Amino acid sequence: MSRRTRWVLIALVAALLLALAVGRALVNRRAALQAAAPAASAVAQAVDLAPTDLVRVSRTELVATLAVSGGLEAVNSAIVKAKVAAELRELTVREGDSVRAGQLIGRLDATEFEWRLRQAEDQATAAQAQLEIAERTLANNRALVDQGFISRNALDTAVSSASGARASLQAARAAAEIARKAVRDTELRAPLAGLVSQRLVQPGERVGVDGRIVEIVDLSRLELEAAIPAEDVVALRVGQRARVQVDGLPAPIEASVARINPGTQGSTRAVTAYLAVTAAPGLRQGLFARGTIELDRRQALVVPVNAVRSDQSRPYVLVAADGRATPRVVGTGARGEVDFGTGREAAIEVLSGLAAGDLVLRGTVGALPAGTALRLPQAAPATSAASAASSARP
């Protein structure tokens, strides 16, 4: 190999070694940049939290509740029906009108029944005259028998005639009373005090026996009819307190369990419970209402229901620890209501995974990856007054 060729080879090897060194340096620099990227990204994507996004775990009084819903129904209501078949002559009330118990609200055409009453009274008068004739005949026959002018058989016949005339008079009087009642039945009277909810017939229409004319409801006593699942009926008791929210009313209404149906519904096997609702302006029969029945009260470690996440195999919460969102698997228990300082809201008992004082993120912050940087508010949420009072109890 010539000297020139040897120097060319040495130059090529040196150039190759330099290229390898430069490539290795570039690879190391790229790896360092990639390693630093998550930290820079985390700093850049730090989430600002408001005080309402956090809740401090505390041991407080958990009110175990049962959610119910249903329609409001009046305890006392009635439908005025026709007791006789006749044409409706007049009806003086309409929907929304107030009526008193026994108030005359309409009339049926009583012409036919008045003539029947007159006929029955005339028949009773004729029967009375026949009885008087039969009694005079009987008295005369008794005197003639004593004198021996007629036989004993003639007297017995007179006695039977007088008895028959007396029975005919009683039957005629009974028929007259029935006819008189039919005349009174043409008067339509309110069976209870309340408001007219339906007017089902108009004057001039003919109504059959038991035909529906007017519906009246008493709004002074209302009940919420709620279907309770079979598994929840065991904890239900008459007298338990409840709160009912009716659409359109600004605040919930106090209620209590008044009755529990002893049987189940055939199709769903649910049991109907009746909640007596406190009277309030604006309540109407048929309104839809939602409520909660208070089943039990006890001390427990609780968090809001919306703080427990279920997008993984086991329920967990996000805890604000060391400025980052840290997931913690939790064991849950009974559900109820707790005042976390912003009013009563749905809460759930935590059996494991958290300790009193932990800061938990509510569901309002949305889904956050584990390790997300958090900017906490200047004042972390403190334990609510109700919780502090409960914790201070012996």
pLDDT digits (tens, 9 = 90+) for 67-86: 899 999 999 999 999 999 99
- 33 lies in some domain: no
As beta bridge partners, residue 298 has 62
Whether residues 317 and 386 fall in one domain: yes
Residue 309 near residue 325, CB atoms below 8 Å: no
Number of structural domains found in the chain:
2
Whether residues 234 and 268 fall in one domain: yes
Q: What is the pLDDT of residue 380?
A: 57
Residue 112 near residue 143, CB atoms below 8 Å: no
Task: Report helix, strand or coil for 1.
Answer: coil
Whether residues 231 and 306 fall in one domain: no
- 188 lies in some domain: no
Residue 320 near residue 361, CB atoms below 8 Å: yes
CB atoms within 10 A of CB 203: 12
Between CA 370 and CA 327 the distance in angstroms is 6
CA dihedral 148, 152, 156, 159 (to 10 degrees): 20
Whether residues 307 and 261 fall in one domain: no
Residues 243-265 as b/e (b if ≥16 CB within 10 A, e otherwise) read bbebeeeeebbebebbeeeeeee
Residues 343-359 as b/e (b if ≥16 CB within 10 A, e otherwise) read ebeebbbbeebbeeebb
Boundary of a domain, candidates 246, 274, 295: 295
Tell me: the pLDDT tens digits for 265-318?
A: 877 889 999 999 988 888 888 899 999 898 888 888 989 888 899 888 899 999
Q: What is the pLDDT of residue 274?
A: 95
Whether residues 281 and 326 fall in one domain: no
**What letter represents residue 22's amino acid?**
V
Residues 6+ positions from 320 with CB-CB distance below 8 Å: 49, 54, 326, 359, 360, 361, 374, 376
Residue 299 near residue 388, CB atoms below 8 Å: no
- 37 lies in some domain: no
Backbone φ and ψ for 360, nearest 5 degrees, come out as -110, 140
Helix (H) or strand (E) holding 48: strand 47-48
Q: What is the pLDDT of residue 26?
A: 66
Residues 6+ positions from 364 with CB-CB distance below 8 Å: 52, 53, 306
Residue 305 near residue 347, CB atoms below 8 Å: yes
Pairing between strand 271-277 and 253-264? antiparallel
Whether residues 305 and 352 fall in one domain: yes
Boundary of a domain, candidates 262, 295, 328: 295
- 349 lies in some domain: yes
- For residue 299, which of 58, 29, 132 has the smallest C-alpha distance? 58
**Which residue is listed with tokens 């002559």?**
89
Length of the chain in terms of residues written: 394
Whether residues 283 and 307 fall in one domain: no
- 263 lies in some domain: yes
Whether residues 314 and 374 fall in one domain: yes
- 154 lies in some domain: no
Between CA 100 and CA 190 the distance in angstroms is 7
Q: Which residues of the chain have pLDDT under 70?
A: 1-4, 6-9, 13, 18, 21-23, 25-45, 148, 379-394
Backbone φ and ψ for 103, nearest 5 degrees, come out as -70, 135
Tell me: the pLDDT tens digits for 41-58?
A: 444 467 888 888 888 888
Backbone φ and ψ for 6, nearest 5 degrees, come out as -60, -45
Query: What domain range includes position 275?
Result: 68-73+219-295
Residues 73-105 as b/e (b if ≥16 CB within 10 A, e otherwise) read bbeebeebebbbebebeebebeeeeebeeeeeb
Secondary structure (DSSP) of 300-321: EEEEEGGGSB-SSSS-EEEEEE
Whether residues 350 and 291 fall in one domain: no
Pairing between strand 212-228 and 271-277? antiparallel
User: What are the Cα distances from residue 301, in Å, to 61, 348, 357, 359, 362?
Assistant: 9, 8, 10, 13, 16
- DSSP tag of 373: B
pTM of the model: 0.62
Whether residues 310 and 366 fall in one domain: yes
Residues 6+ positions from 58 with CB-CB distance below 8 Å: 301, 302, 356, 357, 383, 384, 387, 388, 391
Q: What is the pLDDT of residue 172?
A: 93
Boundary of a domain, candidates 295, 316, 335: 295
Which CATH number covers residue 288? Answer: 2.40.30.170
Residue 297, Cα to own-chain centre: how many angstroms?
A: 22
- 342 lies in some domain: yes
Whether residues 320 and 374 fall in one domain: yes
Whether residues 239 and 320 fall in one domain: no
Q: Report the phi/psi class of residue 188: left, alpha or beta, with left for phi > 0 and alpha for psi in -120 to 50.
A: beta
As beta bridge partners, residue 99 has 194
- 328 lies in some domain: yes
Which CATH number covers residue 326? Answer: 2.40.420.20
